[in-house]
Amino acid sequence: MNVRLIAIDIDGTLLNSRGRIPDENIAAVTAALDAGVHVVLVTGRSFPFARSVAGALPDEVTLIVSNGAIERTRAGRTLARRLLARETARRVLAHTQDFRHASAVLFDREAAGHVVAESMDWDHPHRRGYWERHRHFIGHASPLEAALTEDPIQVMFNGDVATMREVFASLDTLGAVSVCRTEYERQDFSLVDVTAPAATKGQALAARAAGLGLEPGHVMAIGDNLNDLEMLAYAGVPVVMGNAVDALRDRGWRETATHDEAGVAQAIWRLALNGAGR
């Protein structure tokens, strides 16, 4: 295989269940870069929260964040922005008024107001840790529409799986937006992200590959959840984690070990570096 670009999801893929990058993954990413392979982290996280992870990796790693809406170097130089028109964001919020307690708007800011919510319960067990780590980025607006003084990156929702499936089904018929979801069924927690139509992991990865003069056959993608589906389908070498959701594992794609077994490293050595050094 002639892999020239590797796209790696972060949570459940690059990171283990303790939220750390295994040393084996760092070594494999470094070896790939040394071999002239481009490596990009492709994640639903926003840039400030993805950059904290990328800090453990070599400087050459770049980031596609917010499910394809923003592309940046690790140092923060913007490569592409695909923002959601503020009037479209207003339409999304009006369409999901019943879920206001689970919604927020994300802006391209690295300060207070990066995330703005109206009535979200930050004491919820699945949100408390996020609030404690990132409270300096979180603002408040009532009504939430009042925050839309500029085009946002996305409108986002989170909560129990059943409620988020209801949100997803409602938004999937809205049109003129991209809607993706990430599910953690065992924790009964899910996220739904609404971005501009061109802001998806798959389209952003395709644009990155085209900019490098690469065909899909030169691209390997590694992921574990539903929001990785489009980029895996685009890549000529799709790889799913051993801990991936069944919707990915059932597609007959190559499978590597789990995130707690450094499955990313195993995939890179085996499929991108042809077993070199292993």
CATH of the domain at 242: 3.40.50.1000
Q: Quick one: 101 and 37 in the same domain? A: no
Identify whether 278 is part of a domain.
no
Query: What's the mean per-residue pLDDT of the chain?
Result: 96
Domain boundary among 195, 225, 251: 195
Q: Quick one: 177 and 150 in the same domain? A: yes
pLDDT digits (tens, 9 = 90+) for 46-66: 999 999 999 999 999 999 999
Identify whether 251 is part of a domain.
yes
Q: Quick one: 227 and 155 in the same domain? A: no
Q: 147: domain range? A: 86-195
Q: Please state the domain count of the chain.
A: 2
Q: Quick one: 66 and 108 in the same domain? A: no
Q: Quick one: 152 and 234 in the same domain? A: no
pLDDT digits (tens, 9 = 90+) for 105-157: 999 999 999 999 999 999 989 899 889 988 999 999 999 999 999 999 999 99
CATH of the domain at 175: 3.30.1240.10
Domain boundary among 136, 166, 195: 195
Residue by residue, pLDDT tens for the chain (278 residues) are 799 999 999 999 999 999 999 999 999 999 999 999 999 999 999 999 999 999 999 999 999 999 999 999 999 999 999 999 999 999 999 999 999 999 999 999 999 999 999 999 999 898 998 899 889 999 999 999 999 999 999 999 999 999 999 999 999 788 899 999 999 999 999 999 999 999 999 999 999 999 999 999 999 999 999 999 999 999 999 999 999 999 999 999 999 999 999 999 999 999 999 876 55
Asked whether 104 and 241 are in contact (CB, 8 A), the reply is: no
Q: Quick one: 108 and 183 in the same domain? A: yes
Identify whether 117 is part of a domain.
yes
Asked whether 56 and 126 are in contact (CB, 8 A), the reply is: no
